[in-house]
Amino acid sequence: MSEIDFSFLDLVRQAVPGATIDTGDSRDMASAFVDREHLVDVCRTLRDHADLQFAFLADLTAVDRLPSSPRFEVVYQLACLGPAFGTGVARRFRLKVRLMNDDARLPTVSGIWPAADWAEREVFDLFGIDFTGHPDLRRVLLPDDWEGHPLRKDHPVQIRKDTSSWSPMQLTEAEFTANMKAAREHAARAARAIVGQRGQGD
C-alpha cells in the first residue's frame, strides 16, 4: 500500500488558520478530524480552493462509539474528480467531526454540497444528531411519531411499536409538483450563494 499523502491539508490549515485538524490514524485514504466550530469554513475551502476542489460529497454518515467519549463521529466522504473537472488532483478524503453525547449538534453543510440535505436528515433520524441551519430537518425513514433513534447503541434491540398515525406513501400530482418546485428553489438559492461567495473572494 502506498503512503498516504496528507500534504494537501496544509492548504486547508493556511486558509482556515483557527481550525484544529488532526490526521489521526488513516489506513485506506487520507482522513482527518476537524473541530465543529470550523467545519463549514474547512468544507468550503475543500470545495472551492483551486488546488483541492473536493466538489463531490459521496456520503455522509455517523458512528456511535458508546461508551467512548466523545460518543459520536459524523463522517464526510469527499472526492476530487481530477483535472477533467478542474485543477485539483483526483483523490478521496474522509473528514470527521467528534461530538459529545450531551451536545450532539453541528452546522449543516447542505449549502456547500446540496447532496448533504437528505443525508443529514437520515443521520438526524437514525442517530439523533442535530444539524443546525438545515432547511428541513425532519425524519426521512421513520414515522414522525417514532420515539428514539434506532442506530444509537442504547436504543432497545427488540421493540414493538404501533404508530399513532398512518398515511399511505402516495403524493397527489399537486403535492409532487410543489415538492419539486421547493427543491429546485432551494438548489437555486444554494447555487446563488456559492456564486456570491466566490465573487466576494475575487
Per-residue pLDDT band at 161 (split at 50, 70, 90): low
- pLDDT at residue 192 in the model: 84
1 domain residue, yes or no: no
Stated pTM of the model: 0.79
CA torsion 97-188-45-50 (nearest 10°) is: 140
Q: Is residue 160 part of a domain?
A: no
Cell numbers representing residue 169 in the block? 406513501
**Both 180 and 129 in a single domain?**
no
Set of cell numbers at residue 79: 472526492
Domain region containing 176: 168-202
Are 43 and 32 within 8 A, CB to CB?
A: no
Q: Which range (35-44, 124-133, 145-154, 164-173) has the least confidence?
A: 164-173
Calculate what percentage of the chain has a pLDDT beyond 90: 65
Alpha-carbon distance 21 to 38, whole Å? 10
DSSP 62: E
Instruction: Assess whether pLDDT exceeds 90 at residue 13.
Output: yes
Residue 45 and residue 128 in one domain = yes
If asked whether residues 147 and 172 sit together in one domain, one would say no
Evaluate if residue 32 carries a pLDDT over 70: yes
pLDDT value at position 83?
A: 78
In this predicted structure, the answer to whether residue 2 has a pLDDT above a threshold of 80 is no
